[in-house]
Structure 1
């Protein structure tokens, strides 16, 4: 285990200020993930408006061995929602719409349009159902995407609950086009991207040639594979944009100023409602450097093979942007560790398992079964190989070490560890799972699988 232990910070309010020291430490930390093939992407960290680090790691295109750089373009996933919310608030400031008004004032004949407000759409409290029968692999007109959920019954009365999803932000995209008379991308280019100099950001149309676009990757079995194709027209303003770390830095700087919005509008963007969600951002408190700090953030991920996160500590003027073209990058841990480094805390570097060869051939049948945590996790044996099936991914497990009370396995294709626990009779009754480098959580084995047959 490799540790970085800072010496500069003893006061809880401390931020390490030596930018060259910070850049070197963070670069070494990120290189460790790159060398283990757990991360590929681009990372930017800025403090007080000054960029501390902006570098690429790993491959943008593995087949052609093209490396990621600070100029690499990534699909943003749900980080796109911050721009869609901003477009709505620009129209609100212009007096073109009012976020407190019901949507039937702007979209005639929309079911329940007299009770759903724009505010409900922005905060995921509208009750709109998820799209039904949506084929994300083909190009679709925005109106047709909206029809995949518009006539579905509401999941709950508007304003009563929080249900995160895409429907509200797809409908906001449609509203922007209907009220402004412009295509969604044209509105963003005219009112946000061009004014801010964000020349490498836009709406991701798949057949468009984009220089420096990263290919997306995922993992299956014991290897990295191409991410599944998805057409961004079906995601619209919910997840359909692309950008670079540098452009998102410009976006962050604009959110600290009156360049686009008034202070009153910015305060509304970052006011948390149900489940700490504001307008296109989560707003919460995170303990770092010995105190609670206000964190404004959003992440995005999807089948095309991208995982993204933008985190703003507005009071400290600290920005962390991590854009990855590997869907199983340990982004949550990396993002938190980078923040901890900035606030003078100790972080753990990733390490490669020291694999011990089994004394005798391993009988994997004793591990097979379903393990219950907050979701069911399935462990299977196929043709003499052991797999974990979790969050829709199927990863092969390899023996790391064996002791009297537990047996440890790891996945080669992603930062995943699992420790199976033996009971007093030597049978497996549970497992501690470390998903993407996170702290372990315990999963109890279901009794009906305790005597799974060996295959």
Structure 2
């Protein structure tokens, strides 16, 4: 038994040493705003703390590096700022004031390594950890939106270089576009590049347009969101139990997908007692729009939304689009990208539309400028009526202002739009490689531009 315990202890000790070594081999990229920093010893994460070479950081900041051999004191200084410490001490001195280190410096491969966050804050640089890409950004406190836009573009370029994003992006802040670019190919076989005018299938972002149509029709007195579905489709067995409001907010009790005729669909819970995402509900809303307006869903969108806003690269069913550049959808199979497709018309008002990054920015601006409906109607659409669902949009009322967003996913494509009305920015991401983390990419861009 004693031999067994001893062997187990040795194995555990080996595992812990291996684990610490593995942690110390994580080397995040460090960027001083748009510039990637280089070091003789790479930044290293040890037990969750990033240590950075003092010499490399000092050079990157254009500060003067000093070393006193007698006291073994390193210093990094510029006009009006002096940071120094001895490797033997548990404190540093900044402009004559001593402060205890939260994380003591260490020596790696003969170089003095200091806690990045601690020292960067001493020198008044904000430190941002980009979890998604395992990168660190150092930014001046009041860096311009123009610089932030270039940083977001650089971030997406690095993701594309690592096969983690392919598509188009547009980011605007305070009504000014701070970055817009395409990444990779819209058509690999044809060698056509993605741009912010490229057409992408936008999947469930379609629901935002469907909500817009319903609110327009209500504003015209052609329906009310409180109406029962039976007023328009009396033949459906469940129609007298469901309101338009419940269809819009995913509280109608309908299943996720449509696998049979509407009349044969069974409710999965009593309408209004639960909330489950339902494409079926939005397919029914498309039927309702057609019945009330006398137009097909495609014609309604073209006449009442796209043409009105000058959204020239938006429409119904990307497969039927002929003018302009449209992206092909791709997916990875056996380690390589292959084109994939589907019949988008089957998704109707739940996910059949296509658009471009620039066009979705036009939609964002139209919502601010009341170009599609009265302001009071728009506010009703963008109010969280049930959970975080408004009418077609997800809505998050924050202390800083309302946030509205939608994310879509379908064969070969993903899409994301997030509007922060309080901070006045919008992020549009469209992918034709069905990048699964598109909403995380969007959140990462937020940390850069805020």
TM-score by length of 1: 0.67
Q: Hey, what's the Cα distance between the residues in 2 that align with 1:215 and 1:36?
A: 20
- Which of 171, 176, 193 aligns to 1:45? It is 171
Q: Hey, what's the Cα distance between the residues in 1 that align with 2:258 and 2:437?
A: 31
Distance of aligned partners of 1:237 and 1:3 in 2 relative to their CA distance in 1, 3 Å threshold: farther
What SS does the aligned partner of 2:429 have?
A: strand
Aligned 8 A contact 1:16 1:22 in 2: no
Residue in 2 that maps onto 1:265:
377
Distance of aligned partners of 1:212 and 1:205 in 2 relative to their CA distance in 1, 3 Å threshold: closer
Matches within 5 A, 1:222-371: 222-227=335-340, 229-284=341-396, 294-303=402-411, 305-343=412-450
Q: Hey, what's the Cα distance between the residues in 1 that align with 2:194 and 2:214?
A: 33
Q: Hey, what's the Cα distance between the residues in 1 that align with 2:324 and 2:141?
A: 37
Specify the structure having the higher radius of gyration (Cα).
2
Residue in 2 that maps onto 1:70:
196
Q: Hey, what's the Cα distance between the residues in 1 that align with 2:233 and 2:331?
A: 39
Unaligned runs of 5+ in 2: 1-27, 34-123, 128-139
- Which of 189, 214, 219 aligns to 2:332? It is 219
Q: RCO higher in 1 or 2 (8 Å CA, sep ≥ 6)?
A: 1
Distance of aligned partners of 1:262 and 1:293 in 2 relative to their CA distance in 1, 3 Å threshold: closer
Distance of aligned partners of 1:132 and 1:77 in 2 relative to their CA distance in 1, 3 Å threshold: closer
Unaligned runs of 5+ in 1: 134-146, 344-455
Distance of aligned partners of 1:131 and 1:338 in 2 relative to their CA distance in 1, 3 Å threshold: closer
Matches within 5 A, 1:392-411: none
Matches within 5 A, 1:413-452: none
What SS does the aligned partner of 2:215 have?
A: helix
Q: How many correspondences in the alignment? A: 321
1:167 paired with 2:280, answer yes
Matches within 5 A, 1:144-155: 148-155=261-268
Q: Hey, what's the Cα distance between the residues in 2 that align with 1:8 and 1:99?
A: 51
Deviations 1:80-119 (A, max 9, x none): 1000010000000000011111011122322221121100
Residue in 2 that maps onto 1:27:
153
What SS does the aligned partner of 2:327 have?
A: coil
Deviations 1:166-194 (A, max 9, x none): 10110000011111111111111111111
What SS does the aligned partner of 2:373 have?
A: coil
Q: CA RMSD of the aligned region, Å?
A: 2.2
Distance of aligned partners of 1:271 and 1:332 in 2 relative to their CA distance in 1, 3 Å threshold: same
What SS does the aligned partner of 1:191 have?
A: helix
Distance of aligned partners of 1:45 and 1:184 in 2 relative to their CA distance in 1, 3 Å threshold: same
Q: Shift of residue 5 of structure 1? A: 5.8
Deviations 1:49-72 (A, max 9, x none): 111111100111111221111211
Residue in 1 that maps onto 2:215:
89
Distance of aligned partners of 1:175 and 1:264 in 2 relative to their CA distance in 1, 3 Å threshold: same
Q: Hey, what's the Cα distance between the residues in 2 that align with 1:5 and 1:96?
A: 56
Distance of aligned partners of 1:78 and 1:132 in 2 relative to their CA distance in 1, 3 Å threshold: closer
Q: Where do 4+ consecutive residues of structure 1 move more than 3 Å? A: 3-10, 14-17, 130-133, 291-294
Q: Which has the higher helix share?
A: 2
Q: Shift of residue 216 of structure 1? A: 0.5
Q: Hey, what's the Cα distance between the residues in 1 that align with 2:154 and 2:350?
A: 34
Distance of aligned partners of 1:333 and 1:3 in 2 relative to their CA distance in 1, 3 Å threshold: farther
TM-score by length of 2: 0.67
Q: Hey, what's the Cα distance between the residues in 1 that align with 2:381 and 2:404?
A: 10
What SS does the aligned partner of 1:233 have?
A: helix
Distance of aligned partners of 1:257 and 1:66 in 2 relative to their CA distance in 1, 3 Å threshold: same
Residue in 2 that maps onto 1:181:
294
Distance of aligned partners of 1:329 and 1:61 in 2 relative to their CA distance in 1, 3 Å threshold: farther
